[in-house]
Amino acid sequence: MNDYKKYFYSKSTVLILFLLTSISLISFLFSLNDKEMWISMLSDVSVDLNQESLMALIADYTAPRFVFDFWFNSGLFSISLMLLYAWSGAFLSAQLQTEKENGFGNLLMMRMNYKTRLSHLLISQSLYIATIVSSSIVISFILAFALGGVPTTYTRLGDGHLLSFPQVLLVALIQAIWISLWVILVNGISMLCNALVKNKYVVQALPALLFIFTPYLLGTVIGNLFPLVGRVLIYFIPDTLVTVINMAFNDGSIHFILWSISPIFILILIFVGMYKINVKKYMSDFL
């Protein structure tokens, strides 16, 4: 837990929460502007509108609507995810390689075996990432309530699905788990790649290189050549990844759910493979 405390009380926590909050605030201001536009149209008697439908639309523009629009419609949440990837690379992924290069790892290996140190780092960083993602979602809801107000009716998600506030919170919990799991696996795989990559700056760049640029490249090139493979690759692309929950409400079939979560299982297999390679390499010759 010492590693977790070190991460949590570092400047990186303030930095990433400030950036994530700023992005969500931009989206909420757009939503607030839309709401004010609908309200102004309601008072404009010269415009021929369905007053009842317009009032229902305005009533739906509360905190949950602001958050859902940010996550699933604005395109800004994919920027938040890519920012989390880059942040994990800059501040977390290269920890092992940095310790190896500066000699601090040698001191640690005299007190514990490599596998124990690796487990401590993976657990601490995973908890830290989950804390950051959860905290950013909580802050987003606080801002959304301040700007959009408390919902008095059901909130619409997807193609007409009406959610009560407890159901909204359940969606938020699922989103927090979904995004946390992605960032944790991306960070873990990148950190374990130090068994193959010997430069800490390259390791720091791996989350962006492997999980931002590569999915976009492969998703367009290979996806066009091999449509079946493309159906899996598309869910590695941040723009698609962040909207999976919304799409699941529109197409809740088992077939769709299996396709959309298959990349997680692929990442888990890659993580397990890289873990075995990393431990085998450094258990005996870290020093």
Mark residue 67 as left, alpha or beta (left: phi above 0; alpha: psi -120 to 50; beta: remaining).
Answer: alpha
Q: How many domains does the chain have?
A: 1
Average pLDDT over residues 248-260: 72
Mean pLDDT score across all residues of the chain: 85
Q: Measure the CA dihedral 22/25/27/33, to 10°.
A: -140
Mean pLDDT of 183-193: 95
Is 49 within 8 Å of 41 (Cβ atoms)? Answer: yes
Averaged pLDDT, 228-254: 75
Structure tokens at 174: 């699922």
Q: Which domain holds residue 184?
A: 2-285
CB distance 75 to 239 below 8 Å: yes
Ranking 14-28, 134-148, 213-227 by mean pLDDT, the lowest is 213-227
* pLDDT score for 244: 80
pLDDT at 254: 72
pLDDT score recorded for residue 137 = 96
The pLDDT of residue 49 is 66
Would you say 83 and 109 are in contact if contact means Cβ atoms under 8 Å apart? no
165 φ/ψ sector (left φ>0, alpha ψ -120 to 50, else beta): alpha
Name the one residue in this structure whose structure tokens are 């997680």. Answer: 264
Phi, psi of 155 (to 5 degrees): -105, 135
Q: Which pLDDT tens digit goes with each residue over 191-210? A: 999 888 888 999 999 999 99
Check residue 61 and give its pLDDT: 82
Token pair for 79:
């920027």
Unique residue bearing structure tokens 């005996």: 284
**pTM surpassing 0.75?**
yes
C-alpha distances (whole Å) from 205 to each of 193, 200, 246, 247 are 11, 9, 30, 30
Strand partners, 162: 156
Q: What is the pLDDT of residues 52-82, one digit of tens each?
A: 777 777 777 889 989 999 998 888 999 999 9
**30 pLDDT exceeds 80?**
yes
CA distance 215 to 275: 22
- Is residue 113 very low, low, confident or very high in pLDDT (cuts 50, 70, 90)? confident
Cα distance between residue 263 and residue 285, in whole Å: 33
pLDDT more than 90, % of the chain: 43
